[in-house]
Structure 1
Amino acid sequence: MKPALFDTAPDFGQPIAVLKHCHDRIRKQLATLQKLPAHVQQHGADDEARHAAASVLRYFQKSAPHHHEDEEQDLFPMLIATAKDEDAEVLRKLGPEILSEHQSMDLLWKKLAVQLTAVADGQANHLSDEDINLFSGLYSDHMEKEETWIAPMAKRLFSASQMAQLGAAMQQRRGIAV
């Protein structure tokens, strides 16, 4: 079998794999984001910095909100309706934490978006390392928690029809015909 030239995303028939794929893309964007302050300090808002800032902006303004909505509007309500005993207890503890982290990441993102927009527009030569480190650290810890507890639980508890329902909701959210 000939290897693929590029990684392809899983289809919505595998919604938990799609969520994991989103996490992988978030990690790539965070890696770019973490490199930007040093680059901008050394080279200013050059073409490479403007392109990188615009790419990070696009991802976190378009795709990341869909991902949070997938979890908040579909994944968690379905898990809460399905989970029992220890699983329900884990959700009672982690659910509010994860939702609170979404809100914290959204607030941090608003600060970063202003800075990144200025770089993308070629009008700034500084990005806050502190803001970037807070955002990246919170996101990384958040994804680890979801991948350790939430995704395995959904894989274990959801029936094929629940997986299909979740995948269809995620697909519809992105405006992709079901």
Structure 2
Amino acid sequence: MTTDSSNTNPTEDFSQCHVEIIKNFQQLKQLGESDISDPVQPDIQALADKLVRFYHDVVLIHHQEEEQELFSVVIDCASPGDELDRAKAMVQRLTKEHRSLEKQWKKIEADIKKLAKGKSVSLDKAAIIKMADIYLLHANYEEDEFLPLSSEILKDTGMSSLGLTLHMRHDSIKVPTYI
């Protein structure tokens, strides 16, 4: 992202906000594709532990922050008509996806927690891969569709940095979250 505001495209403010989330869900998919032995390999155990912690420490909070902070600001600032209708439809879709993804996680979490403790388990690999694939599609939709719209809507409000701040808050690359 450029620091020279004269060269900043509004969509750049929000681009690549899901880098760590995408990385972790790609690793979840890899876990679903892995051959797991008994005893559980230390790298599989460590990955499972990391994924469970990441989900609870980042993903759930990320969903909550988007819904309580970003989504409401975007709806409030959208121009009546097509822009507001589009924003509302996207927010409704994303919120529905959050609930669906959270339900899917609950179906696989117990087995991933067992792996994290080094216990052998018969993973529902198809469910894990499906969860990862659907989450990756969700994050890509936000990156490609919702966040550019959000940036456009918020550009004249002085709040265009809100989305970036929320999304970068939990990124492993430490960036000051006050903009």
Query: Scaled by the length of structure 2, what TM-score is found?
Result: 0.76
Matched to 1:61, the amino acid is H
The answer to whether residue 160 in structure 2 is matched with residue 163 in structure 1 is yes
Identity %: 19
User: What is the aligned-residue RMSD (CA, Å)?
Assistant: 2.8
Structure-to-structure mapping, 1:16-165, within 5 angstroms: 16=14, 20-21=16-17, 23-42=18-37, 44-84=39-79, 85-158=81-154, 159=156, 161-164=158-161
Matched to 1:64, the amino acid is V
SS of aligned partner of 1:32: helix
Matched to 1:16, the amino acid is F
SS of aligned partner of 2:14: helix
Per-residue CA deviation, residues 63-90 of structure 1 (Å, 9 max, x unaligned), is: 1112112210111101111112322121
Give 1:160 deviation, angstroms.
5.9
> 1:167, 1:87 → 2: CA distance?
20
Give unmatched runs, 5+ long, in structure 2. 1-11, 171-175
Q: Give yes or no for contact 1:108–1:135 (8 Å, CA) kept in 2.
A: yes
Give unmatched runs, 5+ long, in structure 1. 1-13
Q: 1:148 to 1:50 in 2, by over 3 A?
A: same
Give 1:25 deviation, angstroms.
1.1
Give 1:46 deviation, angstroms.
1.4
Q: How many residues align?
A: 161
Query: Scaled by the length of structure 1, what TM-score is found?
Result: 0.76
Give 1:96 deviation, angstroms.
1.3
**Structure with higher helix content:** 1
